Structures are given as structure tokens and as C-alpha cells.
Structure 1
Amino acid sequence: MTYKDFIADPARSCAVVAHRGAWHGAPENSLAAIEKAIALGCDIVELDVRKSADGELFLMHDDTLERMAGIDRVAESLAMAELQSIALRDGDGGETRAPTDQRIPTLRQALEVIRGRIFADLDLKDRGLFAEVAACARAVAASNDIDLKTKVHTSADVAWVRAQNIDGVPFMGMAQFTAEGTKDTLAVLAELSPFMCEIRFDSLETIARNREAFAKAGMALWVNTLDQPGSGEWTDRAALADPDSIWGRLIDAGISVIQTDQPAALKSYLKVRSA
């Protein structure tokens, strides 16, 4: 099944996205974190993509290597061979995390792991890499297993996306929905017909009220419940304390894809909810 077919399946349950891989017990953005996400039965793994000094695409969230390796260097200033000689710290890094046997993977290595086993949301730290990432995915026959995404707010954003050579790679929009602006936002997104949209919103009622419009657009809704400022009240911390009030309410409003740093807990909640 392709990524787009999976997302469009009306019979599926809420999809679980492992943020930077399932990093509890493996370094984030590592091959081990991807394998853990697969073992947990996650549907999608979110990965961060950068480009090395010698032109290789690789996985790393931060600009520097400080948090994940204790090295005060800009990651993209190093060649790929240098990057792969560095031991990644466990979990989400930091001074208290021990070094592991995991190294910084190339995007190609990651795609070879995910192909046919799990889908991947690729968060490009420079969206100018769209065409290169799409070409890499096509080269390893993984173009049906990934998405590329960027913010779509204006006609200029639409024109930018159309100018990229991402044929065959699913495109996900990123947008903010408000009570007053939902109709206009959907009109802009309709020019690209994204199969899914990573959303923020002023009120959950805005999303629930417009369920029919989202369905007509053929666009699944993705929400992050990460413990980050942009998540507002919709955090993993709150969901662990009361999953019905966070994950449950989102699903009831029409959200069908949730990105989390607690994929095991979300999987368990969905199992109980469907029982």
C-alpha cells in the first residue's frame, strides 16, 4: 500500500507518527529509532533532513551537534564521513545521555530501512532541498513511502511548490485554520490538492465545524501533540495525564494523524479506545 492510499483509507484508525523516530531507548533521528518505531507498530516516522558540506543528505534536527553528540560544531559544516564517525547520544541527547553505537545516518540509509515497512514524514531544514530529496527517494524506490511538506499560506507558496521537481512524491501542506479564515485557507490549499495537511488552529471547534469541507478537499488532518510552545494545550504531557481530553478530543473532531514523542502510549490508548 502506498502512503497516499493508506492515508485515504476510510477504515483506518488514527495514524501514529513517531517524532524523530521512537527515541526512548535509541538516539533520535537514528536508524535504531526508526527500527523501534517499526517494532512499536507506528504508521509514520518523522525525520529531519539536512545537507552535509560535501553534498550528502543526512538526518539531524539541530543546527549544531551539541545536544546529540556534545560537539560544538555546525552539523552542515562537516563532510558525511566526519558526521558518520560521530557517536550519537541516547534518546533526545543532552549532557546526561550516554553515547551509543549509533551514527548519523544518510537519508539514503534511512529510506532503505523505511521502504515498504513504515511511512516517513521528511522535515527539511532547508526547503530548497525539495528536489534533491525527491530524487533520492525515487533513486531508492521509496517515493511512495514519504511526504514532503511546507507552509502554504499564499499563491506565492503555491507557485513555489509547483516549481519544484517532486513528481511522484506525496505533498503535505502546512496551514493555520481560524474561524474567519478557513474558507480562504482551503481555497489556497486546493490549488495543490495535498493528500494531508499539518495544521494549527484557533479552536478545536473550528476544525469540528468544518469536517465536511476537509473531507470534500480529500485532505487528512495531522496535529502535533509535542511538548513544545506551538502545541498550545495539546501536549503529550497533558495526554499522558488524561488521553481522552487530548488525543480523544482531537480524534472526535476529525483529526486522523497525530505526531507524538509518546508513540507507545498513543498506540495503547487507541487500542483501548477501539475495544
Structure 2
Amino acid sequence: MKKILVYCCLAFTIGSVAAQTRPALPAPKHSLIVIAHRGNHVAVPENSIAAIEQAIACGADYVEMDVRTTADGKLVLMHDATVNRTTNGEGNVASLTFNEVRALQLKATDGKTYKVPTLEEALAACKDKIHIYLDFKVADVANTYALIKAAGMENQVVVYMNAKEQYKPWQSVAPQMPLMTSLPSEVTDAQTLRYALNKYRISAFDNITDSAMLSVTREQQVQVWLDAQHKGEGPATWQAAIQKGIQGLQTDQPAALIAYLVKNNLR
């Protein structure tokens, strides 16, 4: 019994320290955060500067963007490992030089020409206008953080990690950077979630819906931003997510979601 009490006290103490030292998310302007998935790409290409500008124009709080590295080390915005789906070219981003990627055009329906942007260009478009949800696909942590720091945007970015191997490099290079990820499969209940949060300095998750686990995130001052972007996204799915008490929604329809929130006195 004494050992159990000591363990519980230790876990509580570690949890308190973790909550205090967990990196703070960028200061929000609204109680429910709206994240424009790959930018507001309803009418323009995803992961384009135009999509970023339209996310800003519609009033989104964050723009989500995907970063990858070209064969010669340039950081560019691209969701897929290949350029096939979103451009008029073919090939793996990692096998193409920046000049080869830059020569491509993003597929568009309005007859205009859109180029694949660099991370530097995306940072410049967002600076002092909108926060960034940086989906860290394949890139060098030090190079990525150097660009964020050079832009003076350390307090405007949240990094979404796609693999557990990305955690240690970010902690080593930029321990003050807020990190977000999906809940690992081995974390299945409130107890294991509390243990994980005591061990790792995670500031937000995108896939917690269980009420007991959501209580733990609120207790530990960790936010939950759910993905709403999927076929059939609309008021019913938005409301169902909001009723869970989460703090943000990532959407393919940021303007429509914001209009819904305003109409229902939620923004």
C-alpha cells in the first residue's frame, strides 16, 4: 500500500511539473479555434499561397500546411510524397530538385497559374496574420526551426508530428516549440493518457473523443483539435464535435464553419 501511495504521489508531482513546463500554444483570438486544412482551398489549390491568403481572408485562426524536402534540401509545401495528384508533373518530392518542383504548376480550376510555395514564402504570407499548424511530413528539424526563427514566428507555429521519431529531434532543437500529434494506439484510457502526458511534452492532440480522456486533457491543460474534414462535413458533424468540449476544429470549409459559429453565437 505504501508503495502505491508513493507511486501515486510521484505521478501527481510529475504531472504538475509537466503541465507547467509544457510549451504554450499560440495565443488564441477565439474560444473555438478554426483551422483551414491545407489552407482555404475551396476555390484555389491546396497548400498554395492563395489558399493561405483565403484562409486569412475568411477569418480562420490557423492554416494547416504540409512541409516536405526536395532532393537539394529546399523545404516546400506538399501533402503527398509525390507531386502527381496536385501538379502537372510526376515524381517524388524527395527525388526532385527545387528548380524541378518550382517549374511545375499546381492543378487549378480557375485557369490561373499557381506554383509550389517554399516554407519561407508561406511563413511570410502568414506573419502577424494567422497562426500555422505545420504538418511535419519529411523535413530536417533544425532547418525547419531555423526558418521559423528567422521569420520571427516562434510564437505563431504549432508542429504536428507524424511519427514518434520526430519527438526527440524537436525536443532537442526547439524544446519551447508546441507539439501536436495523434494519440498512440497504446494509449487507450484516461490512466494511460495521464501517464503519457507526464512523460511527453505534448500541447495538443487531434483524435481524442472519449469523455474521460478529454477530462484528462483539460486537467493537464492540453488542447484537442479534431479533424472535421471528410465527406459529409457540415453543421451536424461540427456540432457533434463541439459538444464534446474540444477546443478546435480542422476543416475543408473554414468560411462555412465560421459562418455557422457566428450564427450560433459560438464566435
- Provide TM-score, normalisation by structure 1: 0.79
Does structure 1 residue 141 correspond to structure 2 residue 149?
Answer: no
Q: Distance in 2 between matches of 1:62 and 1:98?
A: 22
Q: Highest Rg: 1 or 2?
A: 2
Q: 2: distance between equivalents of 1:66 and 1:151? A: 21
- Residue in structure 2 matched with residue 58 of structure 1 by the alignment: 76
What SS does the corresponding residue of 1:147 show, helix, strand or coil?
strand
Partner residue in 1 for 2:262: 271
Note closer, same or farther for the CA distance 1:267–1:164 as it changes in structure 2 (3 Å cut).
same
In 2, the alpha carbon distance for the partners of 1:188 and 1:130 equals 23
Q: 1:30 to 1:268 in 2, by over 3 A?
A: same
State the distance in 2 between where 1:71 and 1:99 align: 17
**Percent of aligned positions that are identical:** 29
* Contact kept in structure 2, 1:69 and 1:99, CA below 8 Å: no
Please give the residue correspondences for 1:191-270 in structure 2 after superposition, counting only pairs within 5 Å.
191-199=199-207, 201=208, 204=209, 206=210, 208-227=211-230, 237=232, 239-240=233-234, 243=235, 245-270=236-261
Deviation at 1:251, TM superposition (A): 1.3
Cα distance 1:18–1:157, how it changes in 2: closer, same or farther (>3 A)?
A: closer
Question: Using a 3 Å threshold, how does the CA distance of structure 1 residues 169 and 224 change in structure 2: closer, same or farther?
Answer: same
Deviation at 1:83, TM superposition (A): 1.6
Q: Which secondary structure does the structure 1 equivalent of 2:172 belong to?
A: coil
Matches of 2:84 and 2:26 in 1, distance apart?
39
- Deviation readout 1:173-224 (Å, 9 max, x if unpaired): 321589952321232123233222222x4xx4x2x33443211211111110
The equivalent of 1:89 in structure 2 is 107
CA distance in 1, matches of 2:199, 2:214: 19
**Which of 116, 136, 140 matches 1:104?**
116
* CA distance in structure 2 between the aligned counterparts of 1:52 and 1:157, rounded to whole angstroms: 19
Q: Alignment partner of 1:274: what SS? A: coil
CA contact (8 A) 2:193 2:216 kept: no
| CA-based RMSD | 2.6
- 1:14 counterpart (6, 9, 32): 32
- Higher share in strand: 1
Query: Which of these residues, 173, 180, 185, is aligned with residue 181 of structure 2?
Result: 173
8 Å Cα contact 2:70-2:93 kept in structure 1 = yes
Q: Which residue of 2 aligns with 1:232?
A: none
1:150 is matched with 161
Match of 2:198 among 176, 190, 194: 190
CA, structure 1 residues 25+145, in 2 after alignment: closer, same or farther (shift >3 Å)? same
* Residue in structure 1 matched with residue 55 of structure 2 by the alignment: 37
Distance change >3 Å, CA 56–CA 151, structure 1 → 2: closer
Count the aligned residue pairs.
244
**Does structure 2 retain, via aligned residues, the 8 Å contact 1:152–1:175?**
no
Q: Which amino acid aligns with 2:102?
A: Q
* Structure 1 counterpart of 2:133, one-letter code: D
Asked if the contact 1:49–1:122 (Cα under 8 Å) also holds between the matched residues in 2, the reply is yes
Higher RCO, Cα 8 Å, sep 6+ = 2
Are 1:52 and 1:79, in contact at CA under 8 Å, matched by a contact in 2?
yes
- What letter matches 1:186 in structure 2? R
Whole-angstrom distance in 2 between the partners of 1:152 and 1:30? 25
Deviation at 1:41, TM superposition (A): 0.2
- Which residue identity does 2:134 align to in structure 1? L
State yes or no: 1:23 paired with 2:41. Answer: yes
What letter matches 1:223 in structure 2? L
Whether the 8 Å CA contact 1:56–1:106 is kept in 2: the answer is yes
Runs (5+) with no aligned partner, structure 1: 91-96, 228-235
Deviation of 1:23 after TM superposition, in Å, equals 0.6
